[in-house]
């Protein structure tokens, strides 16, 4: 960042290739765990909300509060209890996925057209069969949209975990900031952005494969 | 449970409320930073979104901008802000944070404003045009009033994101409430850490609630009444 | 007509009460095997409620519904529904499944072997006029409204049920498509011999499709009769009004030229008169004769002269069995 210095020193990147790939792996791991755990919890909570509509508002409300609290603040609340650990990071990251996932699961299942449900019941599907063969597949499109957003957001938030000892590619951003060194900073920043874009693209492809009926007209 | 005691004591200490490192100053800094970033984003994004929304052009970009914005990691933005500010000789703290916050605030504002205008019933717009209203009048008296709730929703989202990311400004030697958190982490002073987190969380929640209320209040009467 | 594979359906004093409101009041009638019974009436008359009690989507408050002598309440609802075809107005086609998968729904639930299912799907698609090769793998969103209705009907018939329930299946398409669907449906039903209970609010559809028509009002069965009888002898003012003041003309549409005893007029006298075919309805014949301002018309079958039809004869048919 000092004038005269090139923005990216490729020799630095080459010599740190090992650490870079380690951090990419860390980034991936933190993201995947957060989204998967978030999905499991969100499904559970969403079904509770669907079965007991009275609980629907408190559940989404709590998830909403967790989502509104800035990530750094949430991690800060956790640090005195769970330290500078992966657990702290994951608790925070998972909390951020909950709102969007719960909302999308609920709206996905509620969004199944009533005539489709009526026809299925009238033809002799049991309620469980309706759930697994009709409601969930049709809800999948909406749920998957939620998974996409949750994943992208999580990839971004993982960078913040650099401040509590994790970080993935955020580690390099922090390093660059602290050392006024543009190479790792740009490598980390652009790398995490690229990661998000690639992940989004991949998930779109998966969504198209899982829900072929949504892209016709 | 002792952490709550420590935090309470931290808040009770009058020293923490005075001076240029005190709570009121930090809160103000945070508000200034966030407010300015959102204001600049509004000035940039709203006119463009209104134009695109009214004419129906650029939909692809306007809608996908929100997706792109979500993919921007906040720490990366702060870092990039620093990378831009330093060569420009703008120093640490304020400017790097600004360079990060404004691009962060633009996507939700632009996308929501665009969608808000687009969602207005085209038949209503058509009728207005047929009755002889000018394009600017249609925008001003019909599309914007009907689209206000969604627009405020977008501004609210931007504001909350900005408040959150402004805390990270402390990493690039900025002030604001993030200072308490970053210093607390560095010095392992958990009372300061949690106190700072509480203040930030509160500010974010208040911002969210305020804009939600604003969005609800801005819905034109007659749209919300039912038979 | 094919041998009746259809079931008989009997309503015995079936009542449905919601709190203080009586939606269906002691409904009793029998549908003979292989016949189409149309439930018709203004909205709120209880026709859809009655239909949905047959497959227990709604449970009766009292009374019995017997299919081939067996009370529907004695059977597990899910098993019952798999034996009954069900078609609704919005079709309810599963948007995430192909046409073939939609049609195969009940056979799959019943555990049919794959080859049998495939054969049945192809057979049905041909029956409804959709080319299996091209359309099997299409999704409902890619079909037109008429095509979707047809697939809905095919799906209901897939497991060869002895009974089909249809709730305003053709109401959501435009009149031209509707007429085509009605004709195709009639053809299919006659060929397969399925018993059908059909709900509509359209009296013309009821008269066209029904072997028996049940006119309902506010939960009561007002009249249950074949269409000709309904038109000739409406049970009361409500039925007369519901059927329409043009019921005389409607009756004419049920009768054909060939069914009238033709006047053995000298063919030479009919020079310049319009020519009718014996399969034409009397209503259409009347329209032809009125528009050509003719008092008589000659009836020809190909080149063979069968006789003459006069306006007086048509008028006589109109006036037969006027209500007292």
The CATH code of the domain that includes B161 is 1.10.3720.10
Burial of C130 (0-12, 13-18, 19+ CB in 10 A): buried
Tens digit of each residue's pLDDT (9 = 90 or more) over A150-173: 998 899 899 999 888 888 898 988
Tens digit of each residue's pLDDT (9 = 90 or more) over B122-175: 878 878 777 777 788 888 888 888 888 889 989 998 999 999 999 988 888 777
What is the model's pLDDT at position B1? 52
Residue B17 lies in a domain: no
B187 vs C214: which has the higher pLDDT: C214
| pLDDT average, residue stretch A182-188 | 86
The answer to whether the beta carbons of residues C36 and C196 sit under 8 Å apart is: yes
Residue C57 DSSP one-character state: S
Length of chain B: 227
Tens digit of each residue's pLDDT (9 = 90 or more) over A125-139: 998 899 888 988 888
| pLDDT average, residue stretch B27-56 | 91
What is the model's pLDDT at position C2? 43
As given in the structure block, the two tokens for residue B172 are 């690039």
Beta-carbon-side half-sphere exposure of residue A43 (alpha carbons within 13 Å)? 11
Residue B138 lies in a domain: yes
Instruction: Residue A119: list chain C partners with CB under 8 A.
Output: 86, 88, 91-94, 152
Q: Is C49 on the interface with A (CB under 8 A)?
A: no
**pTM assigned to the model:** 0.70
Instruction: Residue B178: list chain A partners with CB under 8 A.
Output: 72
- Contact partners for chain A, using 3 or more CB pairs closer than 8 A, are B, C
Instruction: Residue A196: list chain B partners with CB under 8 A.
Output: 71-73
Residue B4 lies in a domain: no
Instruction: Using alpha carbons only, give the angle A25, A30, A31 rounded to the nearest 5 degrees.
Output: 100
Residue B30 lies in a domain: yes
Chain C closest-CA separation from residue A121 CA (Å): 8
Find the domain containing B130 and state its range. Answer: 24-217
Q: Is the pLDDT of residue B227 over 50?
A: no
In total, how many domains does chain B have?
1
Residue B226 lies in a domain: no
Residues of B within an 8 Å Cβ radius of A: 3, 67, 70-80, 82-83, 86-87, 160, 163-165, 167-168, 171-172, 178, 181-182, 184-185, 190, 193-194, 196-198, 200-201, 204-205, 208
Residue C86's SS3 state is strand
Q: Is the pLDDT of residue C275 over 80?
A: yes
Tens digit of each residue's pLDDT (9 = 90 or more) over B70-101: 778 888 888 888 888 888 888 788 888 888 89
Residue B103 lies in a domain: yes
Pairwise CA distance, residues A105 & A92, whole Å = 21
What is the C-alpha end-to-end distance of chain A, expressed in Å? 51
């Amino acid at each position: 960042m000092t004038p005269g210095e090139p923005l990216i020193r490729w020799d630095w990147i080459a010599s740190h290739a090992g650490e870079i790939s380690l951090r990419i792996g860390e980034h991936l791991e933190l993201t995947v765990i957060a989204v998967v755990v978030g999905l499991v919890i969100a499904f559970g909570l969403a079904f509770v909300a669907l079965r007991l509509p009275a609980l629907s508002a408190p559940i989404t409300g709590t998830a909403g509060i967790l989502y509104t609290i800035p990530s750094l603040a949430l991690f800060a609340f956790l640090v005195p209890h769970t330290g500078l650990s992966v657990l702290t990071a994951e608790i925070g990251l998972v909390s951020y996925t909950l709102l969007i996932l719960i909302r999308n699961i609920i709206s996905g299942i509620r969004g199944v057209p009533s005539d489709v449900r009526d026809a299925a019941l009238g033809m002799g599907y049991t309620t469980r069969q309706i759930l697994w063969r009709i409601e969930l597949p049709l809800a999948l499109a909406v749920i998957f949209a939620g998974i996409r957003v949750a994943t992208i957001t999580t990839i971004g938030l993982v960078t913040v975990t650099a401040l509590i000892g994790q970080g993935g590619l955020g580690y390099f951003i922090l390093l660059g900031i602290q050392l006024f060194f543009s190479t790792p900073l740009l490598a980390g920043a652009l790398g995490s952005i690229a990661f998000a874009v690639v992940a989004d693209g991949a998930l779109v492809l998966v969504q198209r494969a899982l829900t072929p009926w949504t892209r016709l007209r | 449970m002792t952490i709550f005691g420590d935090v309470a004591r931290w808040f009770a200490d009058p020293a923490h409320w005075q001076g240029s490192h005190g709570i009121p100053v930090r809160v103000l800094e945070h508000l200034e930073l966030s407010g300015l970033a959102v204001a600049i984003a509004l000035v940039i994004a709203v006119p463009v979104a209104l134009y695109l929304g009214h004419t129906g052009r650029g939909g692809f970009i306007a809608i996908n901008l929100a997706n792109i914005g979500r993919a921007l990691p906040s720490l990366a933005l702060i870092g990039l802000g620093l990378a831009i500010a330093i060569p420009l000789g703008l120093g640490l703290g304020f400017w790097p944070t600004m360079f990060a916050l404004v691009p962060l605030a633009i996507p939700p504002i632009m996308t929501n404003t665009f969608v808000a205008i687009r969602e207005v019933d085209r038949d209503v717009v058509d009728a207005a045009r047929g009755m002889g209203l000018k394009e600017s009048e249609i925008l001003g008296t019909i599309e914007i009033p009907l689209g206000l709730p969604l627009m405020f929703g977008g501004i609210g989202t931007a504001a909350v994101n900005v408040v959150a990311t402004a805390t990270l400004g402390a990493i690039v030697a900025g002030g604001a409430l993030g200072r308490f958190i970053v210093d607390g982490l560095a010095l392992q002073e958990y009372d300061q850490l949690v106190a700072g987190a509480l203040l930030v969380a509160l500010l974010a929640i208040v911002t969210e609630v305020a804009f939600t209320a604003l969005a609800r209040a801005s819905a034109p009467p007659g749209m919300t009444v039912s038979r | 007509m094919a041998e009746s594979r259809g079931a008989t359906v009997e309503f015995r004093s079936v009542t449905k009460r919601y709190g203080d409101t009586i939606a269906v009041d002691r409904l009793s009638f029998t549908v003979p095997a292989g016949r189409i019974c149309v439930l018709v009436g203004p909205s709120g008359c209880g026709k859809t409620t009655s239909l949905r009690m047959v497959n227990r989507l709604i449970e009766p408050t009292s009374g019995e519904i017997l299919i081939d002598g067996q009370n529907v309440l004695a059977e597990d609802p899910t098993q019952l529904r798999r034996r009954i075809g069900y078609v609704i107005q919005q079709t309810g086609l599963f948007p995430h499944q192909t046409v073939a998968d939609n049609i195969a729904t009940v056979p799959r639930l019943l555990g049919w072997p794959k080859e049998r299912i495939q054969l049945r799907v192809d057979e049905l698609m041909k029956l409804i006029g959709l080319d299996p090769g091209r359309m099997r793998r299409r999704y409902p969103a890619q079909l037109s409204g008429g095509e979707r209705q047809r697939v809905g009907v095919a799906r209901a018939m897939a497991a060869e049920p002895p009974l089909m329930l249809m709730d305003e299946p053709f109401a959501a398409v435009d009149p031209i498509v509707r007429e085509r669907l009605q004709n195709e449906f009639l053809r299919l039903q006659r060929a397969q011999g399925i018993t059908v209970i059909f709900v509509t609010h359209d009296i013309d559809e009821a008269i066209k499709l029904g072997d028996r028509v049940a006119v309902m009002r506010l939960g009561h069965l007002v009249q249950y009769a074949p269409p000709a009888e309904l038109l000739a002898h409406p049970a009361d003012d409500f039925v007369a009004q519901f059927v329409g003041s043009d019921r005389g003309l409607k009756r004419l549409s049920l009768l054909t030229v060939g069914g009238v005893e033709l006047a053995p007029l000298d063919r030479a006298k009919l020079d310049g008169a319009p020519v009718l075919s014996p399969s034409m309805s009397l209503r259409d014949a009347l329209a032809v004769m009125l528009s050509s301002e003719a008092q008589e018309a000659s009836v020809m079958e190909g080149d063979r002269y069968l006789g003459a039809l006069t306006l007086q004869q048509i008028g006589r048919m109109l006036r037969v069995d006027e209500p007292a």
